[in-house]
Structure 1
Amino acid sequence: MRLEERPDPVPGSEEVLVAARFAGINTADLAQRAGAYPAPPGAPQDVPGLEVAGTVVAKGAAVRDFAEGDRVFGLVGGGGLADRVLVHERHATRVPERLSDEEAAGVPEAFITSHDAIVTRGALGLGDVLLVNGANGGVGSAGVQIGVVAGARVFASARSAHGQLAELGAEAVLPDDAVAAVQAAGGADVVLELVGAPNVDRNLDALATKGRIVVVGTGAGTDADLSLRKLMHKRATIHGTVLRARPLEEKAAAVQAFAHEVVPHLASGRMRAIVDRVFPVEEAADAFDHMAGSGKFGKVLLAF
């Protein structure tokens, strides 16, 4: 890993060039650095980063929704860990005025991923029970807030940050206690799985009838034994999902759903960006090491 100075990229006809003061690090960036998660075709192959937040400084000829000077945040296929980032106009939306640049940088990947998994894939409803495994990270803490605002009873499974998770409106539990706690509440209608394979069997035990498991993270393992009998008995559904490699319009739909259903709550203060720590970009290697460690609460950012 090294820091390089390069010419500013030039926006295509439907792209905007965003000047970023901060950039969020995601687990996918760790995987890309390890050679396990290459960028999709058309995205920068040697610069990780799945999101952007900042100010539009240039735009393509066909861009209609944004002007220079607008503050935006959104998703990119790669190249997000830079102070100048290209993003398709349909993969971005405006930043609420109440959010600082640092807070805005902690939002897009975490909240869009969580909203897409919990609401779009998991169909979480009013009065449902939501279990978030790995609730102390960026995606997990966003998922907790989305569940609470959606009117669900939220159980946040994590080994740390229980006080902070409770402040967000969740019932914080240790991973070993999560199944019993959720079963006592009638079972989980939706499980947001951010840990991986070790939780698969326990998730099925925790599910209510017709419950949905949405797998987003596999940091603790990718392969698991699955009891088809349990799956059938619960009439359950397991979804796997990623955002990075989706076709343009599918990713645009996820960003626009976030814009309509999440951004207003960020604007009102009912939801908030949670930043664990900010590293100068010169200390990017240390930031990646911190991201790979345990005990975080919220997002890890680079500052340019």
Structure 2
Amino acid sequence: MKAIVITQPGVPDVLQIAERPQPAFAADEVLIKVAAAGVNRPDVFQRKGNYPPPAGASADIPGLEIAGTIVEVGAAVTRWKVGDKVCALVSGGGYAEYCNAPEGQCLPVPDGLSFIEAASLPETFFTVWSNVFDRGRLKPGETLLVHGGSSGIGVAAIQMAKAMGSKVVITAGSDNKCKFCLDLGAGQAINYKKENFADTLTGIDVILDMIGGDYTPGNLKVMADEGRLVLINTMKGKDVNVDLSVVMRKRLTITGSMLRAREVAFKAAIARNLEEHIWPLLASGQIKPVINSVFPVSEAADAHRLMESGGHMGKIILIF
């Protein structure tokens, strides 16, 4: 099969097309002929050599979310059959013509969606559900703050939280991105290049933060009593100085997670929640995939350049 491989850690041009054997698959896995794959920031980190894959995942073929058609099924697979159209969260290997996926991490392509749209869903929707609704315990009527509202994660979080009855505030780096997020359903958008969110907001129940660093004191300042700060990345640094008395006085919860290395059963449980609560909203059009750009797989380096530029709003997709 053809695959995009990381020839060595480095700049986007280290991504090259190569021939690789089709992946083996376990008894509880399916083999998918990939039609489209999502591009995510962890792929960039892996390309640079800063995000080693978990044991058993592809070391040189990036890609964490795919959509396509099942071509083979393992002996223990009960739900899926050859010919089923699915999208899946995988631990790596998605930038390839074929990719294996655990049965429980596959979901049906929602009614009315293309493979391109379906490939934009797994990584971001799994991440948002796990962190905002499971770890963050966001409830209807509460307010969610999302840093990086126009990112793939942000697009999913805005729509999912609003659909579940919560209010959403975002930060983004331009007026255009702020308008984009308001049009998606955010109730308030702050251009962080023009104003400090910590001087504007108050009473935030849950924060989904991929920034870390010097955002952390501001996060604690704007949170309501019993608020929950959920960290999924530290783009501005992992080392911070915080006033722990604020945490105690407000009875705050600071938590976070990394999804990629979690066990299959954990990810399968997220998949079932998504299928029950979110997939019907995708089929009805209440929640919509937002695609910024589609690149042929041969232009994976250009897709990574766009991801690193921060100029995109919504998801970046590779097609085969």
- The residue correspondences of 1:38-187 to structure 2 (distance < 5 A) are 38-160=52-174, 161-170=177-186, 171-175=188-192, 176-183=195-202, 187=203
Q: Which residue of 2 aligns with 1:295?
A: 311
Please give the per-residue CA displacement for 1:4-55, whole angstroms capped at 9, x wherever unaligned. 1223223221111111121111111111111111110111111111112111
Contact 2:65 2:120 in 1 (8 A): no
Structure 1 stretches (4+) deviating beyond 4 angstroms?
none
- TM-score of the aligned structures, taking structure 1 as reference length: 0.95
Count of matched residue positions in the alignment of Structure 1 and Structure 2:
301
RMSD of equivalent CA atoms:
1.3
Write the letter of the residue equivalent to 1:173. Answer: I
For residues 262 and 198 of structure 1, the distance between their equivalents in structure 2, rounded to whole angstroms, comes to 33
Secondary structure of the residue aligned to 1:3 is strand
Greater CA drift, 266-275 or 249-258: 249-258
Unpaired runs of 5+ in structure 2? 1-14
Contact 2:69 2:83 in 1 (8 A): yes
Please give the per-residue CA displacement for 1:200-252, whole angstroms capped at 9, x wherever unaligned. 11100110000001101222222211211111111101111111000221122
Secondary structure of the residue aligned to 2:54 is coil
Question: Would the alpha carbon gap of residues 93 and 21 (structure 1) be closer, same or farther in structure 2, given more than 3 Å must change?
Answer: same
Please give the per-residue CA displacement for 1:109-161, whole angstroms capped at 9, x wherever unaligned. 01110111110110111110110011110011100111111111110111131
Contact 2:149 2:158 in 1 (8 A): yes
In the TM superposition, residue 60 of structure 1 has moved relative to its aligned partner by 0.8
For residues 178 and 127 of structure 1, the distance between their equivalents in structure 2, rounded to whole angstroms, comes to 21
- TM-score of the aligned structures, taking structure 2 as reference length: 0.91
Residue from 249, 262, 282 that aligns with 2:298 = 282
In the TM superposition, residue 165 of structure 1 has moved relative to its aligned partner by 0.9
For residues 107 and 214 of structure 2, the distance between their equivalents in structure 1, rounded to whole angstroms, comes to 36
In the TM superposition, residue 177 of structure 1 has moved relative to its aligned partner by 4.1
Q: Which residue of 2 aligns with 1:242?
A: 258
